[in-house]
Amino acid sequence: MNEKILALEMYSKQIEAIQKEIASVRVLKNEINKAIETLSNVKVDEETLIPVGPGVYLKAKVIDDKALLGVKSDIYIEKSLSESIEDLKKSYEELDNVEKEGLKRLNELSKVIAELKEELQKEAEKMEKEKKD
């Protein structure tokens, strides 16, 4: 019985970690969508609003059809806006797959936890019955 209780605690911690991972993935997906939307609306030689933070925008004039994409910390590559959008869409798809896999693992672990709880309940009832006899 103790092993099942420990397993239940372990699975619960795994579920918590997966939920945090899914939440982080969803935040990144949201940021990518905003970047795609912003890049899609940019026109060369026109003024546009560039988001720099929550509710903060800079008025800017785009001088060419290029964007800098971060590939590692402090390393950026220059790509056309259309290439940048395509790269962002690929990143979004990858994150979407990570989220789906996380949800799948979450569902599997939830089933295992439900089974363990049921087994523990039966064992507890059996022990209670044996005490009375």
pLDDT digits (tens, 9 = 90+) for 57-75: 999 899 999 999 998 889 9
Helix, strand, coil shares of the chain, percent, nearest 5, are 70, 20, 10
Which residue range is the domain that position 61 belongs to?
A: 2-132
All residues at 6 or more sequence positions from 96 whose CB lies less than 8 Å from its CB, including other chains: 29
Q: How many domains does the chain have?
A: 1
* pLDDT, tens digit (0-9, with 9 covering 90-100), for 3-27: 989 999 999 999 999 999 999 999 9
pLDDT at position 12: 95
Query: pLDDT grade, residue 54 (50/70/90)?
Result: confident
Torsion over CA: 66, 52, 98, 71 (sign) = positive
Q: What average pLDDT does the structure give for the chain?
A: 92
Task: Report the predicted TM-score, pTM, of the whole model to 2 decimal places.
Answer: 0.80
CATH code (residue 43): 1.10.287.370
